[in-house]
Structure 1
């Protein structure tokens, strides 16, 4: 009787897992300091290796702080007791033999408010409009705004005029990001309604063209700004970058009064360009600040374009003093210019808006109010010294 041939046994071939895809991606999160936050995403398969990154580097998980989990095709990362160090861009990478996929999200941490801000504009506007200068010889407090091209000097003046006038003050003569050149060529006096305040706008500061002697110097000369602080430069004087004002110039004011002088120097710097500022420009600003310090003139920094560096601030200006990004930019500005943090005011100018914005107005009014008090204190101090000499 013949035997039936046996069939060799074979093990089943393992199926290839599908290539990972993110069915639902991580979503940006905004969380208050000290609270927890969870990032979640859904994949098309659970047969993957999941790795988390923060700001492009492998996430260093801390016990009791970070919890990574997987439930089927769902993946999550929980961060407990968030602090400013937890702010950043988080990425999950899913990988298997068939391929890989990833998605990212931003975690923004609202810090505990580290500087208080006014929320209503009317009291500040009323105080400024009714401001009375204690010295009858000084008809107006004068503020000189200087800084790099495109920082927002002219836009700052336009914004203050808008707030005082109660409607948009639109002036196209402001430096363009596209041209990179200053539209301000003269020493311009700009008044603010019937208030006792006047702004002086100057050409933007630019780096020296040391590498090419054939190129003409561009931007205002630091000596011209120092001469303006002293009151030697008349209104509507046209700057000549390669030839700063001297005593031989027919326009030179040889014996300026206290009313002719500048009472407060305001450095205007764009928050999104602090890191990119040329060392030459920084040095010029330091030279001008040193000149102002010798004269006893108070100095403040208006840090513009805050909405360009912080999404949270872009969405809600009232959270400006809860922003890690804004505080970092202020600290960087403080270090590079040598200005105390309490002399730096982050703000936003009118740019795209056509309607009034009270949140924007309040930030500007707080900064300007401090400038007014500083300028007035300078006038009182100079007047007191003059009386003692007499």
Structure 2
């Protein structure tokens, strides 16, 4: 199996230095958990209902800082069965305060989503909308076409457009938006990946090639990118037993490291999440991880919109 390498060079290796205390912190205890978390919830973060409500409030009261934007547009990308639909259902459940299903999660090897679908929360959550696409598949004849992805990000493809992997949209198509405004463009791209697949370093060469090609295109646009690592409970049974173990799990930490190298995205933009899938009731602890991810999506999306608008204004003045 090939080793994961970053797009801009070979895999970085850590030095052999470090104090004995540092090494001790990285040694799992008798239960298999790290003595110190590899990430903290935040300066005031705790696994409490109060903190979940604080995160919700931050999203509700997000300040767009004197822009004319009212919703950050977030695009979900990922392979079939990675958890895109489950994440949408999780967001909808947090929004309504009860278990909700706005889309059917994939249970097969082919994508269940054929059109560009838009979801906008209408109750507790606000200030963003999420666009879902076909799954990214290894075959060039299946799943979302790279050209279509770029056109979605640039705002050229409207919601409900039906994708055809064998025939990507072009400028002559009746549905093609030739001059989209900034409110129709994507402000943050989110890659959804199965942590169990990433954590076992089990990525096919074809998938790596598609990821690299897509990253190359998105780097030109300079759009912010985030990774969601789903199914962390499958990756680590200690997390399945207690979600609070997520940041003390060596397996989850390793999955984040491998995702960072695969997508070449800063660790602060990689979020392990546990989607609602088989649960019958809401759990505020399980809300915290998706809310942390949503907060970052909105923040970086706002930054991108502001910088894009400033660049456009500068061009007009020039």
TM-score by length of structure 1 reads 0.69
1:147 maps to 78
Does the alignment pair 1:254 with 2:175? no
2:259 maps to 333
Flag the 1:135–1:182 CA change in 2: closer, same or farther, 3 A.
Answer: farther
Does the alignment pair 1:159 with 2:90? yes
Give the 3-state SS of the residue equivalent to 2:226 in structure 1: strand
Distance in 2 (CA, whole Å) between partners of 1:86 and 1:174 is: 35
Task: Give deviations 1:165-194, integer Å, cap 9, x for gaps.
Answer: 211112451111xx2221111011111115
Give the 3-state SS of the residue equivalent to 1:189 in structure 2: strand
Distance in 1 (CA, whole Å) between partners of 2:277 and 2:26 is: 30
The structure that has the greater radius of gyration is 1
1:70 maps to none
Shift of the alpha carbon at 1:138?
2.7
Q: Please, which of 188, 204, 223 is the counterpart of residue 135 of structure 2? A: 204
Task: Give deviations 1:70-117, integer Å, cap 9, x for gaps.
Answer: xxxxxxxxxxx9764567xxxxxxxxxxxxxxxxxx851333112111
Looking at secondary structure, tell me which structure has more strand per residue.
1
Distance in 2 (CA, whole Å) between partners of 1:145 and 1:236 is: 15
Runs (5+) with no aligned partner, structure 2? 1-22
Task: Indicate if the aligned counterparts of 1:135 and 1:380 stay in contact, CA closer than 8 A.
Answer: no
Runs (5+) with no aligned partner, structure 1? 1-80, 88-105, 210-216
CA RMSD of aligned residues (A): 1.9
Looking at secondary structure, tell me which structure has more helix per residue.
2
1:185 maps to 114
Shift of the alpha carbon at 1:384?
1.6
Residue correspondences, number: 283
Task: Summarize the alignment of residues 314-325 of structure 1 with structure 2, pairs less than 5 Å apart.
Answer: 314-325=240-251
Shift of the alpha carbon at 1:259?
0.4
Task: Indicate if the aligned counterparts of 2:92 and 2:101 stay in contact, CA closer than 8 A.
Answer: no
Q: Please, which of 133, 148, 160 is the counterpart of residue 224 of structure 1? A: 148
Distance in 2 (CA, whole Å) between partners of 1:107 and 1:131 is: 40
Flag the 1:145–1:135 CA change in 2: closer, same or farther, 3 A.
Answer: farther
Distance in 2 (CA, whole Å) between partners of 1:128 and 1:83 is: 34
Distance in 1 (CA, whole Å) between partners of 2:35 and 2:223 is: 34
Task: Indicate if the aligned counterparts of 1:285 and 1:337 stay in contact, CA closer than 8 A.
Answer: yes
Task: Summarize the alignment of residues 76-95 of structure 1 with structure 2, pairs less than 5 Å apart.
Answer: 84=26
Distance in 2 (CA, whole Å) between partners of 1:114 and 1:83 is: 9
TM-score by length of structure 2 reads 0.84
